[in-house]
């Protein structure tokens, strides 16, 4: 039971991290387009 909860938590953290990276990449691209 405990390990299952931990796996779920890890997965959610991983998804969150992935989302953050996507947002950062998108923001960087927008800045590049803006300053060009």
Which structural domain, as residue segments, surrounds residue 4? Answer: 1-36
Distance CA 32, CA 27 (A): 9
Average pLDDT over residues 27-36: 90
Domain count of the fold of the chain:
1
Q: Is it the case that residue 36 has pLDDT exceeding 90?
A: no
Write the DSSP string, the chain. Answer: -HHHHHHHHHHHHHHHHHHHHHHHHHHHHHHHHHH-
Q: Is it the case that residue 1 has pLDDT exceeding 70?
A: no
Q: Mean pLDDT for the chain?
A: 92
pLDDT in tens, 20-31: 999 999 999 999
Average pLDDT over residues 9-21: 95
């Amino acid at each position: 039971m405990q390990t299952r909860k931990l796996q779920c938590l890890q997965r959610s953290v991983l998804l969150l991290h992935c989302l953050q990276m996507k947002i950062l990449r998108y923001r960087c691209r927008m800045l590049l387009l803006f300053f060009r």
